[in-house]
Amino acid sequence: MSIQLHGITKRYGNMVALQPIDLKIDGEICGLIGNNGAGKSTLMKIITGLLQPDAGKLEINGINPKQEPEEAKRQIGYLPESPMLYPRLTPEELLTYIAEVKKVPSPAAEVDRWLTTFGLLEKRRALVRDLSFGMKKKVALSTAFIGAPRLLILDEPFNGLDVATMERLAEMIVTFNQNGATILLSSHLMEYVDRLCRRVLILKRGGVVGEGSPEALKQEAKAASFHQAFLYFTREEK
């Protein structure tokens, strides 16, 4: 499963959100990191089809999302940084709806699988609006993973989770990748980016200022840790 971006740009008025970006991700866990406002979420929204670029071309496994939007989106599981969940639905109802939209075989079994995986069985018939922040995050993660998408776009997936769930999520990300999924992961938790990602892109003011494996980026920055390497690439004078 591959993503290819050719000269993708985006502006909001006079503000450049994304400078021309060329990128290919194929069968790997790729990290996308940067400070707030660097363009990470904008790039992810363009890949998922929620935003249109001002220029450039995007292909998802050879599919042009503009020409075949439904086919492209069917292959994507997306967790936005701030998920918008239907507050008057239950987790079970919401996941059933997502499973049906994605045309998942045996939707009831798939819904049960993810309710179980994220410890939501006891809350399956509670209204989403009545759930804690952490429980809502688990519901949102379930909507991304359901149906075993071939492309996972995860924007700050670890935020709001307890330590045990973060570790379980990290294991799931690795397992999905081993089973053939391509994963684009954005997080401010450098520990997980360092552990999980084969390759990392560092964004600053909408442009790529660093790219490579975590180890290669540490060597380039002459840094003892990946956290220090990140600070090197995003420092103001760079």
Tens digits of per-residue pLDDT, 16-46?
Answer: 999 999 999 999 999 999 999 999 999 999 9
Q: What is the spatial distance between Cα 107 and Cα 104, in angstroms, rounded to a whole number?
A: 6
The confidence score (pLDDT) of residue 62 equals 85
Convert the pLDDT of each residue in 121-149 to its tens digit: 999 999 999 999 999 999 999 999 999 99
Q: What distance separates the 2 farthest-apart alpha carbons in the chain?
A: 54
Predicted confidence at residue 71, as pLDDT, reads 81
Q: What is the pLDDT of residue 61?
A: 87
| Residue predicted with more confidence, 63 or 58 | 58
The whole-number pLDDT of residue 237 equals: 67
Predicted confidence (pLDDT) at residue 238 exceeds the cutoff of 80: no
Neighbouring C-beta atoms of residue 225, cutoff 10 Å: 14
